Amino acid sequence: FWCMKESFDQVEGVISVVSGYSGGHLKNPTYEDVVYTDSGHVEAVEIIYNSKVTTYKKLLDTYWQNIDPFDSEGQFCDKGKSYRSVIFFENKTQKNLIDASYEKYEKKFSKKIVTLIWKFDKFYPAEKFHQDYYEKNFIRYLMYKKGCQREETLNKIWN
């Protein structure tokens, strides 16, 4: 979620991005619960945005451009169930937009996308350490991104 926070922070109209967990059955999970037990949660971000400045569709496009939609094992060097790519929806309009974007990208790549689509229920903010990580720990964050070859992988997929 660190890298997704950085990506969404750059979108005009985004008011806040919070790192956290969603999609599972455990109430108030910790990072350890999410990564090391079968809580059902994945790392996620909560995005608050001004709909007069940006759209859900724009947020979807930003999401797609910042993930590997073909990796069923996780994202980049983070592997495991809690690191899978998931798009959450709250209503039928959002679900329809997700479905349309899913189709568009499967058609573009002629390849099966493995990103999951889940009905949103509850979001739990992650621990303070994880909030704004890319700003508070800039050098470590850059080393993480470089070590995981995030930019190289994204460029291979999307450019």
Is residue 28 scored above 80 in pLDDT?
yes
Beta bridge partners of 116: 86
pLDDT at 3: 86
* Tokens read off for 57: 């569709």
Residue 28 CB burial class (10 angstroms; 0-12, 13-18, ≥19): exposed
Rounded Cα–Cα distance for residues 139 and 148 (Å): 14
What number of other Cβ atoms are within 10 A of residue 142's Cβ? 11
Lowest mean pLDDT among 19-28, 36-45, 55-64, 124-133: 124-133
pLDDT at 134: 87
Q: What residue has token string 């621990």?
A: 127
Is residue 39 scored above 80 in pLDDT?
yes
Is residue 59 scored above 80 in pLDDT?
yes
Is residue 2 scored above 80 in pLDDT?
no
Cα 6 versus chain centre, distance: 11
* Helix-then-strand count for the chain, H and E: 7, 7
pLDDT at 130: 87
Rounded Cα–Cα distance for residues 11 and 21 (Å): 21
C-alpha distances in angstroms, 48 versus 6, 58, 90, 147? 14, 13, 13, 30
Q: How confident is the model at residue 140 (pLDDT cuts 50, 70, 90)?
A: very high
pLDDT tens-digit profile of 81-116? 999 999 999 999 999 999 999 999 999 999 999 999
Helix axes 2-9, 138-147, angle to 10 degrees: 110
